[in-house]
Amino acid sequence: MAVVTVRGRGRMELQLLPDVAPAAVHAFATLAERGAYAGKTWHRIVPNFVVQGGSPGANEYDPATTYFMRDEVGARNVRGSFGISTRGRDTGDGQLYINIVNNMRLDHDYTVFATMSRGFDVMDTIQEGDVIESVVIRRSSTRSR
């Protein structure tokens, strides 16, 4: 689970999808635990499409990682799902997008690594320039018997 807090807006709770997108979940969790998203903005809003952010330079061309990720397609681009922004096949770099509507045409080209369980009201109010205050990863604990 992850909690994304947007300054002045509230929190979005995410269910991570490690079985579908293990590399993307790992990259997202690693960046989040390093504080890489804190203070970054949602720099691109496309009405009836997506919200995009998490870039160090607040643009589409400044990568959040020093490497590109391979695409891990398989999860649906439905309203409230979080994906990895790319500039073409296998060029994911840790920047995020949120589907604000169902975008099934993206299903076979973009990695979805999480689905939102709470915070749709927050997602619906995000404006260009809003700040990602924090991303907190909450790992589930499992006990051996």
Q: What is the mean pLDDT of residues 41-56?
A: 93
Q: What is the 3-state secondary structure (H, E, C) of 1-70?
A: CEEEEECCCEEEEEEECCCCCHHHHHHHHHHHHCCCCCCCEEEEEECCCEEEECCCCCCCCCCCCCCCEC
Least confident of 56-65, 108-117, 118-127: 56-65
Q: What is the mean pLDDT of residues 24-29?
A: 95
pLDDT of residue 94: 79
First to last CA, the chain: 23
Fold for the domain defined by 2-137? Cyclophilin (2.40.100)
Quote the mean pLDDT of the chain. 91
- Top-confidence residue, 131 or 60: 131
pLDDT of residue 35: 95
Task: State pLDDT tens for residues 62-79.
Answer: 656 677 889 999 999 999
Q: Residue 122 carries which DSSP code? A: H
Whether 127 contacts 41, CB under 8 Å: no
pLDDT band at 145 (very low <50, low <70, confident <90, very high): very low
pLDDT of residue 6: 98
Q: What is the mean pLDDT of residues 99-103?
A: 98
Looking at the chain, the whole-number percentage of residues with pLDDT higher than 90 is 77
Look at residues 65, 87, 82, 92 and name the one whose alpha carbon lies nearest to residue 120.
Answer: 82
Adjacent-strand bridge partners of 50: 46, 99
